[in-house]
Chains A and B, each alone.
Chain A
C-alpha cells in the first residue's frame, strides 16, 4: 500500500482516524523505507531536537579510573543474577537482529536540509547581525570546527546578506550553519561539518532535499553544504565562490 506525503503528514499531526493510523503503523513495521519517509516528515522532531541538543550546555564531567579491573561475573548473586545475565544476552541478540535490519539512518545533509526547511524570513529577520555578534559567533564556530570559515568570502557572497553563524552538532560532530538572507529576505544557508580525518572525499553533488535546492561536497575531513532558499534556486554562482574558498 502506498501512502502520500499528505497522508503521512496527516498521521503525524494526529488527523487520521484510528483505522487509517493503524494501517500506516503496521505498514511501517514491514517497510523501513516508509519509516524513513515518515520520520523525515515529522514536524515535531526537529523542533524538539533543536531544544534538547543544547542540553546539557557543557559536556558533563565523567570520572573514569585509569585502569579498570575487568568485572568478574559474580556467582554470589545466585540464580537471579544468572537469570539477569541470560536475559541481557537475549536482549543483545534480539537487538543485534533489529540493528542488522535497521534502515539507513539519515545523513547530516538530509538532517540539515530538514532543519533549514523550517526557516522562514521571520526566523532571520530578528537576528542580531551586528559585527560584534558575528565576531563572537564566528570565533566560537571556528573554534568548534578547528578551521577558518573564510568570513570575508562569506560576507562577499553575491545575493546574500550574512545573518548568523550557529553551532549545531550531528552525531557528536560539530556542525556550523551560516545563515544568509537573499535579496527577497528569504533564508538560505551554508553548512560545514567536521567529519574527522580519513572521511571520504566527495565530489560536488546537487539534489533537492526537503524541498530545497542543495549542493554538497567533502574534502580533507570536512563536509560542506549549500542550501538554497527554494527548490528551484540556482546555486551555481555561489557555488563557484564557495568551492574555491573551501577546497578543503
Chain B
C-alpha cells in the first residue's frame, strides 16, 4: 500500500515539475496552444490513473511525454489537424514572454515562428533535443524511430532555421560596426 501511495506522490510531483515541458511538447505536436492545454490536462489525468505502472521514479518526464504523444496520435491528432487546416492556424508568437529588449523579442519571435512552421516530425524532434535536452538516443526511443532519423530530421530543421540565425548574425555585425 505504501508503494502505491508513493508512486502516486511521485507522479503528482512529476506533473508539477514537468508541466511546462509537457505543455511545450503538446505545442510542438499540435502547433496550437489550446490543444497543448488539453493535451497537458489529459496527459496528467492519464498518468495519475496509471501511477501504479510506475516502477522507477527516474525519467518520469519521458514517461509523461510518451503518454502525451500517444494521446495526441490516437485521440486528438485527426480532429486537430482538420481544424488547423480549416482555420489555417498561424503560430502564436505572442506566447513568448517579453524579453529584456525589443531586438531580442523580434529575434525570439522569428525563431519561434520558424520552429513552429517546421513539419510536425521535425518540430517534435527539435523540441525534445534542442529545447528539452534529450540526447538523440533518448529522442529516438521516445519517438520510436532510429537515431539516424532523429539526426536527419535535425539536419533538415537546421537548414530551415539557418536563414533566421544568419539574419541575427548579420544584425550583430551591423550593430558592432556602428
- Total interface residues in chain B, CB < 8 Å: 69
Answer whether residue A152 sits at the interface, using C-beta atoms and an 8 A cutoff. Answer: no
Q: Give min CB distance, A197 to chain B, whole Å.
A: 14
Q: What is the interface of chain A, defined by CB distance below 8 A to chain B?
A: 12-14, 21, 25-26, 28-29, 32, 35-36, 39, 42-45, 47-57, 59-60, 62-65, 68-71, 84, 88, 91, 94-95, 98-99, 101-103, 105-106, 111, 120-122, 126-128, 164, 166, 171-172
| Residues of B with C-beta under 8 A to A57 | 95-97
A28 and B101 in contact (CB under 8 A), knowing A59-B20, A60-B37? no
Residue contact A68 to B48, C-beta cutoff 8 Å? yes
Q: Give min CB distance, A15 to chain B, whole Å.
A: 11
Residue contact A98 to B127, C-beta cutoff 8 Å? no
Answer whether residue B15 sits at the interface, using C-beta atoms and an 8 A cutoff. Answer: yes
| Residues of B with C-beta under 8 A to A128 | 100-101
Q: CA of A50 to CA of B137 in the docked complex: distance in angstroms?
A: 22
Q: Name which residue of chain A comes closest to B161, CB basis.
A: A44
Residue contact A48 to B161, C-beta cutoff 8 Å? yes
Residue contact B148 to A29, C-beta cutoff 8 Å? yes
Residue contact B138 to A99, C-beta cutoff 8 Å? yes
Residue contact A55 to B103, C-beta cutoff 8 Å? no
| Residues of A with C-beta under 8 A to B127 | 52
Residue contact A52 to B131, C-beta cutoff 8 Å? yes
Q: Name which residue of chain A comes closest to B115, CB basis.
A: A48
Q: How many A-B residue pairs have CB under 8 A?
A: 160
The residue from B36, B40, B112, B162 contacting A51, defined by CB atoms under 8 A apart? B112
| Residues of A with C-beta under 8 A to B100 | 127-128, 164, 166
Residue contact B162 to A14, C-beta cutoff 8 Å? yes
Q: List 7 A-B contacts (CB under 8 A).
A: A51-B96, A51-B112, A60-B20, A84-B74, A120-B172, A121-B176, A172-B20
The residue from B130, B135, B146 contacting A49, defined by CB atoms under 8 A apart? B130
Interface residues of B in 63-109 (CB under 8 A from A): 66, 70, 74, 95-97, 99-101, 103, 108
Q: Give min CB distance, B154 to chain A, whole Å.
A: 8
Q: CA of A51 to CA of B108 in the docked complex: distance in angstroms?
A: 5
Q: Give min CB distance, A45 to chain B, whole Å.
A: 4
Q: Name which residue of chain B comes closest to A56, CB basis.
A: B23
Q: Give min CB distance, B149 to chain A, whole Å.
A: 10
The residue from B41, B112, B159 contacting A63, defined by CB atoms under 8 A apart? B41
Residue contact A26 to B148, C-beta cutoff 8 Å? yes
**What 0/1 pattern do residues 154 to 168 of B give for CB contact below 8 A with A?**
010111011001001
